[in-house]
Amino acid sequence: MESADVEMKESQPVAPAADGPVPSNSTPSASSNVLQLLKEIASLVEIGAYTKEVRRIARAVRLTIVLRRKLTAPSVSAFLNQTLVAGSEAHSRLSSYLPKEDELDMDVDTETSTTQLSTKHTLPELEIYCYLLVLIFLIDQKKYDEAKACSSASIARLKNLNRRTIDVLASRLYFYYSYSYELTNCLAEIRRNLLALHRMATLRRDELGQETLLNLLLRNYLHYNLYDQAEKLRSKAPRFEAHSNQQFCRYLFYLGKIRTIQLEYTDAKESLLQAARKAPVAARGFRIQCNKWAVIVRLLLGEIPERTVFMQKGMKKALEPYFELTNAVRIGDLELFRSVADKFSDTFTSDRTNNLIVRLRHNVIRTGLRNISIAYSRISLADVAKKLRLDSPNPVADAECIVAKAIRDGAIDATIDHAKGWMESKETGDVYSTNDPQSAFDSRIVFCLNMHNDAVKALRFPPNSHKKEKESAEKRRERQQQEEELAKHIAEEDDDDF
């Protein structure tokens, strides 16, 4: 999904530094174009702050994410000089994180901006946006230590600001704050701070911040396999209407992982499939992870995923190990299942699904046993053990226990003759004489109704649209009155004709 998931002024010109040459991929014209785009984004933030229109600031964040690949040290430095007051704490701190580049190409534009912006006072929204811009640039440049320092400084500054127009920028800073520590394997260090930030966002009624921080805390706990703590936090956190589709998708994914570990496979399947369905098409990595976990959960439920799941555009190679695993479970071949698990053990370990695949062994045996019960009306337990390829000291006794458990669980309809040592299958009945078709149609209808309700809830209306509705209602009343008068006139004419 986005990498998130995945968003003024100067008093004196900065003297050019000669510590290093301009990078070969940043020409003066390209840097000037980037700087101009950053100015336009800053104006969006400024207008949104003055008019209290959060949507403008959200649009500025989206434009910044699009522009991030074109950012260079000179363009970011020049933008800071034009946006922040030279000599201020924010300007000094952010400038120290940037590498010293040759800024001769930016001098002319910087000097003109100095005379225009020197009399203004930097808005808090612009200051926080500068923190976000520098932090994104440092992460993209793989300068993770500087990114950690910058993110910590930005969080310390955020704690002193309580403005609803900063909430969108703050949510992005929270994400990159956690991401920078995750890249340096220091997630445990910020857990206490994330909890304090979540409490602060709750007290300030910053619902977008609560969404983001709850997901970051869940990710933090799951990173260290602390599933019980994650579930306790999730169950006690405040619940409200989702404000961000991306954060809601992440929440569903983490909820699906927690439910899977807790053996609640039905709820886990629903959460994981919904997360994969709601995720943006561009968030391919996130959708791949959702599909990997969803495939494992469906196999644990005894379902076989459709082939189209593994053939989605851009996912075929990543889902290949899970496709072979599904094939082994579908056939019920225990030997093939072991070979696939050994072949892709590194992949399963990196995906953290190794423990779940160990649980699948029982499903493979059950599937093979179901195939045997369908194919044979009567078969000896020794042949059952041979066909299941049980590698135990006493395979016949193990086969007898497995068959007995499958009969008790309702997986197969058969009986065991202990004296003669065989399994006798009963005739398969007509499935359409049972309630299974009705249950299948009911589940599909419920799914369609839920999707319709979600679509209705997601409808958006332009601002002040209720005023237009009032005007149209007045016109409607006038039209109805005219129609009534016309109907009376026509009725009177008909009476005259008689």
- Both tokens of 116, joined, read 């225009």
Span 83-103, average pLDDT: 77
- Both tokens of 246, joined, read 């991306």
Per-residue pLDDT reduced to its tens digit, 15-26: 333 333 334 344
What span, in angstroms and rounded, lies between the C-alpha atoms of 373 and 362? 16
Comparing 21 with 127, the larger pLDDT belongs to: 127
Q: Dihedrals φ, ψ of 326, to 5°?
A: -60, -40
Span 232-253, average pLDDT: 85
Confidence of residue 219 (pLDDT cuts 50, 70, 90): very high
**pLDDT value, residue 110:** 44
**pLDDT value, residue 469:** 53
CA distance readout (Å), 299 to 198, 362, 372, 467: 36, 11, 19, 53
Span 198-213, average pLDDT: 87
Identify the helix (H) or strand (E) that includes residue 417. Answer: strand 414-417
3-state secondary structure of 482: helix
What span, in angstroms and rounded, lies between the C-alpha atoms of 441 and 444? 5
Asked if residues 56 and 44 have their Cβ atoms less than 8 Å apart, the reply is yes
Find the DSSP H helices in 410-461. 436-457
Per-residue pLDDT reduced to its tens digit, 342-365: 888 888 888 888 888 888 888 887
- Say if residue 96's pLDDT is above 80: yes
Comparing 489 with 364, the larger pLDDT belongs to: 364
Comparing 63 with 412, the larger pLDDT belongs to: 63
Per-residue pLDDT reduced to its tens digit, 287-314: 999 999 999 999 888 888 888 888 888 8
Query: Residue 91 corresponds to which amino acid?
Result: H
**pLDDT value, residue 30:** 64
Span 188-204, average pLDDT: 89
3-state secondary structure of 296: helix
Where does 355-407 show beta strands of DSSP type E? 378-380
- Say if residue 107's pLDDT is above 50: no
Angle at the Cα of 92 from the Cα atoms of 91 and 94, rounded to 5 degrees: 65
- Say if residue 260's pLDDT is above 50: yes
Mean pLDDT of the chain: 79
* % of the chain surpassing 90 pLDDT: 11
Query: Residue 363 corresponds to which amino acid?
Result: N
Q: What is the DSSP string of 221-257?
A: HHHTT-HHHHHHHHHHS-----S-HHHHHHHHHHHHH
- Say if residue 12's pLDDT is above 80: no
Nearest residue to 130 (alpha-carbon basis) of 167, 161, 96, 169:
169
Q: What is the DSSP string of 84-106?
A: SPTTSHHHHHHHHHSPP---GGG
Asked if residues 251 and 218 have their Cβ atoms less than 8 Å apart, the reply is yes
- Say if residue 217's pLDDT is above 90: yes
Find the DSSP H helices in 52-163. 54-67, 73-83, 89-97, 107-117, 124-140, 144-158
**pLDDT value, residue 27:** 52
